[in-house]
């Protein structure tokens, strides 16, 4: 009997696994990630404490949790990708998209274990997703943007809904107004970077406030700073990307001299250069001098003697916001400074906030910037409050661009589930079963909301199914009533979400599930010779031959 030759196709130590078992293994890894974040969903969701190095983070934001988890499984990383994409594109719904993707995979597992081909499941999921998105667009509520009062109410309700599940939910009315006011100050581009969020430890969270302009923490200062005035009305502001220190000239040039007596003339020339720069700044008419680079002790005292305010090492993002808000430009030279390059504001002042001092620019002419100053008892609380406000800001931003909304609290998912169940009965073949399971998976959102609130999820789901089976406007907006432990018309209770959030969440979750289902083999190659040697020893220890037989 002849032995089959051994053919080595892959590098020694390469680990491969394939087939239906590999797909099920990938689904299991994704399910483990989902179970980690599932309990954070909803207004009564729990928080997670993640300890990385010396830093501990307390949060219930899905994207933050998944990014802080050091996920090594290649298939499970796809869930981290969709959470990050949802966070970047929409800003909210990161937990929902992960939970939905996990539930789609969980339902697909049953079909695969029964022998259905993954491509059949993928085709059915994509068809169901397309039908669900079409249904959302059919039933979404369109708000008249021309009605200023109604439109502002829409934005505030969307902001409060986004804050419902956050750490600052007890202050959602307070922060919702703040978020809407900040967004409405932006220009048509709605550039989120023009909204600054600053942390000030100490005081109550209700001491937080919105600055109509720009605020940043006092930068490092030299002697003479305290002699400068700390408040101006209608000042001219010059913004520089220029170092105003004596050392800059002598370090940026190489000079060779033959006579040591010439050294004094070089030193005098350096002083002359820096004084010329400072004199040109004063002649420009500016009263507030800001620079991305350091402003040294000589310049600080020079400005103080002439009743000017200066701040060096200003963070570039703050400097850019000041430039855009004040109507000025960031300059790299002080020669021939044009008047239009100077910015202005109604009031500039330096104020004490907690243990820090802040420079605040109010009443800027363009009014396309705002700063939210967050107060709180601990840095962890403030950081989580910032993540909460970030979600709310992104939701309001999307609602401002797309004024169509749907009801939250699991109402839209239950309506889509009912619609897809009815649609599945109108078709035949395996797709009927796949679409029906897709509809069942959508119920995970209201079920999880109820479970996280400590309610009887089965009873609530049965009531919701009965209400939505009626059809029409009367039943389509019923969702989970978190306050009273039953069901309610969440639309009438102003629990609104932009329809774009749900469309993006369902589409992204479906694509992630289809991606995992389409992978039937994983190949892991060793990175270096040490790993190859270790793999050879492991194979030898198990008594296996070298190479792979095909």
The answer to whether position 127 is within a domain reads: yes
One domain, residues 288 and 341:
yes
If one compares 138 and 26, the residue with the highest pLDDT of the two is: 138
Instruction: Flag the least confident range among 103-107, 152-156, 421-425.
Output: 152-156
Catalytically annotated residue among 212, 318, 391, 481: 391
Q: What is d(CA 361, CA 326) in angstroms, rounded to the nearest whole number? A: 9
What is residue 144's three-state secondary structure?
A: coil
Which whole number is the average pLDDT over 375-402? 83
Q: What is the pLDDT of residue 438?
A: 92
For residue 223, give both structure tokens: 């002697």
546, HSE (Cβ side, Cα atoms, 13 Å) = 7
- Predicted confidence at residue 29, as pLDDT, reads 81
Phi, psi of 202 (to 5 degrees): 105, 150
Q: Under DSSP, is residue 105 helix (H, G, I), strand (E, B) or coil?
A: helix
Residue 496: pLDDT over 70: yes
φ, ψ for residue 155, nearest 5 deg: -65, -40
Residue 533 lies in a domain: no
Kindly report the pTM of this predicted structure: 0.74
Question: Predicted confidence band at 248 (pLDDT cuts at 50, 70, 90)?
Answer: very low
pLDDT tier, 131 (very low <50, low <70, confident <90, very high otherwise): very high
The Cα 162–Cα 495 span in angstroms is 9
Q: Is residue 162 part of a domain?
A: yes
Within this chain, do residues 411 and 394 fall inside the same structural domain, yes or no? no
333 and 318 share one domain: yes
Stretch (H or E) spanning 264: helix 262-283
Average model confidence (pLDDT) across the chain:
82
Q: CB neighbours of 330 closer than 8 A, spacing ≥ 6? A: 239, 240, 241, 292, 319, 320, 323
CA distance 410 to 319: 43
CA neighbor of 357 nearest in space, from 372, 373, 343 = 373
Position 537 in a domain: no
Q: Which two tokens stand for residue 306?
A: 């002439």
Marked catalytic residue, from 59, 61, 300, 318: 61
Model confidence band, residue 545 (pLDDT cutoffs 50, 70, 90): very low
pLDDT confidence of residue 288? 92
% of the chain exceeding 90 in pLDDT? 12
Tell whether the model's pLDDT for residue 402 goes beyond 90: no
> Maximum Cα–Cα distance for the chain, whole Å?
102
Least confident of 9-23, 262-276, 466-480: 9-23
Which residues, at least 6 apart from 542, have a Cβ–Cβ distance to it below 8 Å? none
Give the residues across from 231 on adjacent strands: 349
> Does the pLDDT at position 128 exceed 90?
yes
CATH number at residue 333: 3.50.7.10
What's the rounded Cα separation, in Å, for the pair 162 and 390?
Answer: 10
Helices and strands, number each (H, E), in the chain: 19, 21
pLDDT exceeds 70 at position 51: yes
Mean pLDDT of 208-217: 87
Would you call 191 a catalytic residue per the annotation? no
451 compared with 193, residue with greater pLDDT:
451
Q: How much is the average pLDDT of 17-29? A: 73
Domain containing residue 186: CATH number? 3.30.260.10
Average pLDDT over residues 511-515: 89
Both structure tokens of 71: 């996920």
Q: Specify whether 290 is located in the same domain as 274.
A: yes
The C-alpha atoms of residue 274 and residue 336 are separated, in whole angstroms, by: 16
Question: Residue 141 pLDDT > 90, yes or no?
Answer: no
Q: How confident is the model at residue 548 (pLDDT cuts 50, 70, 90)?
A: very low
pLDDT of amino acid 130? 93
SS3 204: coil
Whether residue 532 is predicted with pLDDT greater than 60 in this model: the reply is: no
Per-residue pLDDT, 267:
74
With beta carbons less than 8 A apart as the criterion, state whether 39 and 60 touch.
Answer: no
Confidence of residue 127 (pLDDT cuts 50, 70, 90): very high
pLDDT, position 522: 66
At 273, the pLDDT band (50, 70, 90 cuts) reads confident
Active-site annotation holder among 40, 59, 95, 371: 95
Contact 98, 508 (CB under 8 A): no
* Residue 416 shares a structural domain with residue 510: yes
Where residue 520 falls among pLDDT bands split at 50, 70, 90?
confident
Please indicate, yes or no, if residue 525 is contained in any of the structural domains: no
Report whether pLDDT(28) > 70: yes
Same domain, 30 and 135: yes
Of the candidates 443, 438, 451, the residue with the CA atom closest to the CA atom of residue 105: 438
Q: Measured in whole angstroms, how far is the alpha carbon of residue 537 from the centre of its chain?
A: 46
Could you give the 3-state DSSP secondary structure of residue 115? coil
Query: In which band, very low, low, confident or very high, does the pLDDT at 4 lie, cut at 50, 70 and 90?
Result: low
Exposed, middle or buried by CB within 10 Å (0-12, 13-18, 19+), for 69?
Answer: middle
Is 301 in the same domain as 389? no
Mean pLDDT: which of 149-158, 218-227, 406-415 is highest?
406-415
Verify that 106 and 174 share a domain, yes or no.
Answer: no
Check: CB of residue 463 under 8 Å from CB of residue 475.
no
Residue 549: the pLDDT is 37
In a domain, 280, yes or no: yes
The average pLDDT across 82-99 equals 81
Paired tokens of 352 = 């004490």
Residue 185 clears pLDDT 90, i.e. is over it: no
Strand ranges (E), 26-97 = 48-52, 55-59
pLDDT at residue 66 above 50?
yes
pLDDT at position 547 over 50: no
Q: Interhelix angle for 77-89 vs 20-37, to 10°?
A: 50
Catalytic-residue membership of 189: no
Q: Tell me, yes or no, whether 241 and 290 share the same domain.
A: yes
3-class secondary structure, 181: helix
Looking at the structure of the chain, the number of domains it has is 3
| pLDDT confidence tier of residue 543, bands split at 50, 70 and 90 | low
Kindly name the residue from 57, 64, 94, 490 that is annotated as catalytic. 94
State the residue for tokens 């009605």.
147
Closest CA to 385 of 34, 51, 47, 38: 47
Retrieve residue 319's tokens: 């400097």
Residue 431 and residue 473 in one domain: yes
Residues 201 and 244 in one domain: no
pLDDT of res. 134: 92
What does the pLDDT average to over 245-251? 59
| Confidence at residue 529, expressed as pLDDT on a 0 to 100 scale | 53
Both tokens of 474, joined, read 């009367």
**Residue 311 tokens, joined:** 């701040």
| In a domain? residue 385 | yes
Is 94 considered catalytic here?
yes
Query: Whole domain around residue 193: which residue ranges?
Result: 144-212+374-402
Whether 392 and 427 map to the same domain: the answer is: no
Q: Is 114 an active-site residue?
A: no
CATH number of the domain where residue 470 is located: 1.10.560.10
Query: 3-state secondary structure string, 385-436?
Result: HHHHHHHHHHHHHHHHHCCEEEECCCHHHHHHHHHHHHHHCCCCCHHHHHHH
Has residue 359 been placed in a domain?
no
Tens of pLDDT, residues 318-347: 898 888 888 888 988 888 888 888 988 889
Tell whether the model's pLDDT for residue 247 goes beyond 70: no
Q: How high is the pLDDT of residue 398?
A: 80
Tell me the CA distances in angstroms from 348 to 211, 313, 351, one per residue in order. Answer: 12, 18, 10
């Amino acid at each position: 009997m002849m032995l089959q030759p051994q053919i080595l196709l892959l590098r020694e130590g390469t680990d491969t696994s394939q087939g239906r078992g590999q797909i099920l293994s990938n689904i299991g890894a994704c399910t483990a990630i989902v179970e980690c974040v599932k309990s954070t969903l909803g207004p009564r969701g729990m928080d997670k404490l993640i300890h990385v190095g010396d830093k501990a983070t307390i949060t219930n934001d899905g994207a933050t949790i998944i990014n802080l988890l050091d996920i090594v499984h290649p298939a499970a990383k796809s869930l981290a990708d969709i959470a990050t994409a949802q966070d970047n594109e929409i800003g909210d719904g990161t937990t929902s998209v992960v939970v939905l993707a996990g539930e789609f995979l969980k339902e697909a597992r049953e079909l695969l274990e029964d022998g259905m081909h993954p491509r059949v499941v993928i085709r059915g999921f994509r068809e169901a997703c397309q039908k669900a998105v079409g249904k959302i667009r059919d039933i979404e509520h369109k708000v008249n943007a021309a009605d200023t009062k109604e439109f502002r109410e829409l934005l505030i309700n969307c902001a409060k809904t986004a804050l419902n599940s956050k750490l600052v939910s007890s202050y959602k009315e307070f922060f919702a107004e703040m978020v809407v006011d900040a967004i409405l100050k932006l220009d048509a581009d709605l550039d989120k970077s023009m909204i600054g969020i600053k942390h000030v430890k100490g005081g109550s969270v209700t001491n937080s406030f919105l600055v109509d302009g720009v605020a940043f923490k006092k930068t490092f200062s030299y002697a003479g700073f305290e002699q400068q005035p700390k408040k101006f009305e209608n000042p001219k502001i010059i913004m520089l990307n220029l170092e105003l220190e004596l050392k800059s000239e002598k370090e940026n040039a190489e000079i060779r001299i033959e006579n040591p007596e010439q050294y004094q003339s070089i030193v005098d020339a350096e002083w002359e250069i820096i004084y010329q720069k400072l004199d040109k700044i004063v002649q420009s008419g500016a009263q507030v001098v800001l620079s991305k680079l350091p402003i040294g002790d000589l310049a600080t005292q020079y400005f103080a003697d002439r009743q000017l305010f200066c701040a060096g090492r200003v963070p570039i993002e703050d400097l850019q916001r000041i430039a855009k808000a004040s109507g000025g430009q960031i300059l790299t030279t002080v020669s021939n400074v044009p008047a239009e390059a100077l910015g202005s504001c109604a009031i500039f002042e330096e104020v004490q906030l907690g243990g820090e001092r802040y420079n605040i620019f109010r009443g800027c002419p363009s009014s396309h910037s705002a700063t939210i100053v967050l107060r709180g008892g601990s840095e962890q609380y403030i950081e989580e409050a910032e993540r909460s406000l970030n979600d709310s800001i992104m939701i309001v931003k999307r609602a401002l661009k797309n004024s169509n909304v749907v009801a939250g609290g699991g109402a839209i998912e239950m309506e889509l589930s009912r619609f897809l169940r009815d649609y599945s009965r109108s078709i035949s073949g395996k797709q009927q079963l796949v679409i029906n399971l897709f509809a069942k998976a959508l119920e995970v959102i209201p079920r999880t909301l109820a479970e996280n609130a400590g309610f009887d999820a089965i009873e609530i789901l049965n009531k919701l199914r009965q209400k939505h089976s009626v059809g029409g406007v009367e039943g389509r907006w019923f969702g989970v009533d978190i306050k009273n432990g039953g069901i309610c018309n969440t639309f009438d209770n102003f629990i609104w979400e932009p329809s774009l959030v749900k469309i993006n969440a369902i589409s992204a979750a479906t694509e992630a599930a289809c991606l995992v289902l389409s992978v039937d083999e994983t190949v892991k190659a060793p990175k270096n010779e040490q790993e190859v040697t270790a793999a050879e020893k492991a194979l030898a220890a198990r008594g296996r031959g070298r190479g792979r037989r095909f």
